[in-house]
Amino acid sequence: MELPEETPDKTEITDAEHGFNLFMIVVSCLNAYALYQSMTGSGYGAAYLMILSLFGLFLSYIVVLIWAGKVKARLWLVFKHSLVINGLVFIAMGIAMNGPSAQTENDTVNKSGNTISASVDSVNYMHDWAVKYTLTDLRSNQAIGGSIVNFLEGPGGKNCCISLPKQWQQGMYVSVDWQEADKTHTKPDKYHRELEIPRYQQAGDLYVLFHPGQEVELVVSKVEPGYPAWPGKIKKDAMAACVERLSEKECKRNLPKYAPNSNESLARGYRESCLEENILDTSDPEGNRKACQKFVENCKKDWDISDKKMCELDYKED
């Protein structure tokens, strides 16, 4: 008597179906990671990654369909874990990308090359007040710059650094704290402004611009003030802008006689150092006398200076 063939338990999962499930779980997780990277990035690389991940997921389903058909696996058991995982991953990605910390993370973390490290510089458009300031990035509450900017000075005192996205993003704020001083005293007032970094087409250095009347302007630019592409409110450099408003004499009233680090300023420093009473206070008077004579020779021969008489040690200032 022949025994009837045993009918397999429909609830029992075969080894092949276990293998399909494991394969689809791995593929789904890899695909979800690739999609997340592509959706949080920018540019052609991110677009290619998204296309590749979607194509990979589609191809994996086709492969499993063909494979499952050959071994007579039950498709629902093969795909159900994959579909559930993909659904949960997409929901989690939507929450993560729109959550309260998403903007901060995108602004401050440079994992995909979408930010630059920009210098901080400043310009003082005031002819009668110097400025001492501190700049703080409110995204991280870290001080990122600061300097003493003299009358009609700047740019040139670059500080390092602030992280800026290559494409402008809303909600990037910094605070500026400063005091003003003239030649004789510092104002007791302390000023504070919280400013949003303005929209820019191309990321560059961050400039803090001080205008009369405690007005502060922020500019992100790859060029400095005075150049044609400068996007600031005042297109000219600080001195030219001042002369346009006031007389040249008034603009220069508080400025040093010679520009800082100019040859004229250096020559005056040498002349003061080469005074006999100053030489006698050094540890090597004879060596310093020779150095002073060497200065005179080099100054007369090689220096670009407005008046060669300034190279003489006995030159008298007006």
Would you kindly state where each structural domain of the chain is located, as residue ranges?
A: 15-99, 115-251, 263-311
Q: Cα–Cα distance between 67 and 209 in angstroms, integer?
A: 67
Rounded Cα gap, residues 37 and 16, in angstroms: 32
Q: Specify the pTM.
A: 0.52
In terms of pLDDT, which residue wins out, 193 or 16? 193
Of 100, 68, 69, 64, the closest CA to residue 82 belongs to 64
Q: Which stretch of 110-124, 144-158, 216-230 has the lowest confidence by average pLDDT?
A: 110-124
Q: Record the tokens describing residue 149, joined without a space.
A: 């900017």
Helix (H) or strand (E) holding 174: strand 173-181
Q: Above 60 in pLDDT, residue 137?
A: yes
pLDDT band at 57 (very low <50, low <70, confident <90, very high): low
At residue 223, the 3 state secondary structure works out as: coil
pLDDT tens per residue across span 258-283: 776 788 888 988 998 899 988 898 88
- Kindly list the strands in the beta sheet with 130-137, ordered across the sheet, starting from the edge strand earlier in the chain: 142-149, 130-137, 173-181, 191-196
pLDDT above 80 (res 1): no
The mean per-residue pLDDT over the stretch 4-18 comes to 54
> Which residues share a beta bridge with 118?
162
Say if CB 214 and CB 191 are below 8 A apart.
yes
